[in-house]
Structure 1
Amino acid sequence: MISQRALNRATLARQLLLRRHAMSPTEVIEHLVGLQAQAPFPPYFGLWSRMTSFQPKELAELLVGRQVVRITLMRGTVHLVSARDCLAIRPLIQPMLTRALTARRVDGIDHAAVVAAGRALLTERPLSVKAMTPLLAERFPDAPPADLPVILRWLLPMVQLPPRGVWGKAGDAVLTPVEAWLGRDLDPEPAVEHLLRRYLAAFGPATVADMQAWSGLTGLRAAAAKLDLVDLGGGLLDLRDAPRPDEDTPAPVRLVAPFDNLVLGHADRTRVIADEHRKRVITINGQVHGTVLVDGYVHGIWKRDRATVTVSPFGALTTAQREEIEAEAVDLLAFAEPGKRPTVRFD
């Protein structure tokens, strides 16, 4: 039976948070099976916290160069993934997205016809939701206009085009079908077993419930049973050759990005965050604050306003911990606001 502390250290190792790594942005993004990206810029901080050397232009160039994309995937949320993973993962996630649309009760509309019309429209000219809605309404005058882009969101694989997600840029999400942007078709025979192995490599050890909470998929027990996994007790499964550091392995202070999957990728999140702290990290309106890891666990939240980082600890800090957090925050500001005088405040 693996201890809770050893589980924490294993998770941090898989999440590349026990030390910074000399990897490329694409390697990190693929290892993590994507970065959650509802907001445009948290993925930049997610990479910064894991890489020995990373500059915003590296990710911006990958987005513009169509090597990584922003697309609705796991749990129906926007993720930043490599082009290759986009084509392989989206077909696996589609059943969950279809169920999500059904739950919204968008009835009395020919969904297939809306998807076909939307695909043709957005292939010809990428559009925002605001711009596409009246054009779709002209084609489907009997349907509530607001329902039409909802159908496309859940049923038509679409990517958000740059400059959305490009460092320092702003603007609405402009959408086009995956195939139009990448020039390739979705994988016709994706394997869910391969996705689960990828999940365990990035988030394990984990239970089937964890796998389902991360992906939004159901019925994964049979797929997991096909894999050659080690049973660590308590329902926790893992790859046989995956790293499981000693529970006494040091865990440095980290400022983890807002919306980071570290705090969202499991059903039982106590491996990194106490239940009583979750409401302070994940708000009722779906925002997920940046978190402060102290000795491997979430010990506070952080917010940035230009060249100022404000840290709100959940409990007392030692002098050494406070100094380590401050040093990490100064480094974050040097990354995000180079040349400006950094300010670090503690609430």
Structure 2
Amino acid sequence: MDTNIIIENRFINQKLAPITWLDSPEDIVAHFGAMQAQNYGQALWTVGSRLITPNELAVKTAINEGRIIRTWLLRGTIHLFAAKDYHWMMDLIAPKIDKICQPYRTKLGLTNEVLLKASEVVRGFTSNGPVTRKNLAEHLAQNQLPSAGIPFAQLLVYLSSRKIICSGPDETYQNTLHIPAATRDYSRSEAIGELAKRYVQSHAPATLKDFCFWSGLSVADAKIGLAQFPKYGDFFTTELTKNPVTLETIPLAGFDEWIIGYRDRSIVLDEVWHEEIITKNGIFRPAIISAGKVVGKWEKPKKLNDLEADYWKRYIQFRSML
């Protein structure tokens, strides 16, 4: 498939084209299924850059009110996803998280006894409302449970995958009782199909390898999910656009789906920019794209005067820097 066709269609499906912007943070997240979000501040702009009216407070409010969940999901990393998708996504992905994390848990001494005790302790501790990471660690320490370093982090991942905790207001943790009950019971194959649908509608054109990387599913499962879509060469997609759009210059957030959402990033990330944008320890820095390709990197500005180019206008509006 021609590179320009790929970039143009991704630009539309990723909701980066002005004609595709949405007015609700949760609608954007639901369109993607899940959006990488380990850097909280950058994750806000990941969503905000796709809003009709970019507003940081609107994204924070959607997270704080529980309409968007921020916790460990695909590939065992932190993502944003809609509360209405919480149960079927967690049920599908939790076994994958266990498979990734089990060797670390064994090595760290996180036995079933420890995990079950921690589950009961944290369930009780969060019953009265959200708690900070510091307060949660202190409470675990008081109960002779892991409270620092990698053991603590692995324990949090476990508690999240067991639907005991998730994100709370202002980067806290809370129990999951506020999340609405599932409105539909998905079979495993139906959940795989729905996850594939979200991926293709938000990332296409994309390959089998791209979907396997993004979802963390096996090749066999990924093929089941993608079977519902037409294929052009190696690329699965929905109907290709016949109406060209202007590829705006955009400052993307770190870990933005435009780059991290694919196994093969060479279409938008030239080799000269690879080490500038992706660090050796897997951190994806904020990037500037023009005509869909990375042309620079950037850091959060300290003052308005640092943002002179026209393409910063929406970011300025988002951060209320006027």
User: What is the match of residue 101 of structure 1?
Assistant: 101
Question: What is the Cα deviation at residue 210 of structure 1?
Answer: 0.4
User: What is the match of residue 118 of structure 1?
Assistant: 118
User: What is the match of residue 81 of structure 2?
Assistant: 81
Q: Determine which structure has the larger helix proportion and give its number.
A: 2
Conserved 8 A contact 2:45-2:253: yes
Q: Determine which structure has the larger strand proportion and give its number.
A: 1
Distance between the aligned counterparts of 2:100 and 2:132, measured in 1? 21
Conserved 8 A contact 1:33-1:81: yes
* TM-score scaled by length of structure 1: 0.78
User: What is the match of residue 42 of structure 1?
Assistant: 42
Q: 1:337 to 1:229 in 2, by over 3 A?
A: closer
Matched ranges for 1:46-85 at <5 A: 46-85=46-85
Letter in 1 for 2:173: L
Partner SS, residue 296 of structure 2: strand
User: What is the match of residue 225 of structure 2?
Assistant: 224
Q: 1:80 to 1:110 in 2, by over 3 A?
A: closer
The unaligned stretches of length 5 or more in structure 1 are 165-173, 312-324, 340-347
Question: What is the Cα deviation at residue 289 of structure 1?
Answer: 1.9
User: What is the match of residue 246 of structure 2?
Assistant: 250
Letter in 2 for 1:216: G
Q: 1:17 to 1:112 in 2, by over 3 A?
A: same
Distance between the aligned counterparts of 1:40 and 1:189, measured in 2? 32
Distance between the aligned counterparts of 2:218 and 2:154, measured in 1? 22
Identity %: 19
Aligned residues: 309
Q: Deviations over 1:223-267 (max 9, x none)?
A: 136x3321200x21223xx34346x64311111122211110011
User: What is the match of residue 310 of structure 2?
Assistant: 327
Match of 2:170 among 156, 160, 163: 163
Q: 1:87 to 1:243 in 2, by over 3 A?
A: farther
Query: Bigger shift: 18-27 or 290-299?
Result: 18-27
Q: 1:113 to 1:185 in 2, by over 3 A?
A: farther
Distance between the aligned counterparts of 1:204 and 1:99, measured in 2? 28
Conserved 8 A contact 1:302-1:309: no
Conserved 8 A contact 2:75-2:216: yes
User: What is the match of residue 298 of structure 1?
Assistant: 294
Distance between the aligned counterparts of 1:176 and 1:114, measured in 2? 20
Letter in 1 for 2:28: V
Q: Deviations over 1:68-109 (max 9, x none)?
A: 111111122211211012222122222321122124252485
Distance between the aligned counterparts of 2:16 and 2:41, measured in 1? 19
Partner SS, residue 117 of structure 1: helix
* TM-score scaled by length of structure 2: 0.83
Q: 1:115 to 1:70 in 2, by over 3 A?
A: same
Matched ranges for 1:163-242 at <5 A: 163-164=170-171, 174-178=172-176, 180-182=177-179, 184=181, 189-190=187-188, 191-219=191-219, 220-224=221-225, 227-233=227-233, 235-239=234-238, 242=239
Distance between the aligned counterparts of 1:163 and 1:338, measured in 2? 20
Distance between the aligned counterparts of 2:310 and 2:285, measured in 1? 20
User: What is the match of residue 278 of structure 2?
Assistant: 282
Q: Deviations over 1:192-223 (max 9, x none)?
A: 11111110000012111100111122233441
Match of 1:261 among 248, 254, 257: 257
Partner SS, residue 305 of structure 1: coil
Q: 1:83 to 1:206 in 2, by over 3 A?
A: same
Structure with the greater alpha carbon radius of gyration: 1
Distance between the aligned counterparts of 1:292 and 1:160, measured in 2? 29
Superposed CA RMSD? 2.9
Conserved 8 A contact 2:84-2:182: no
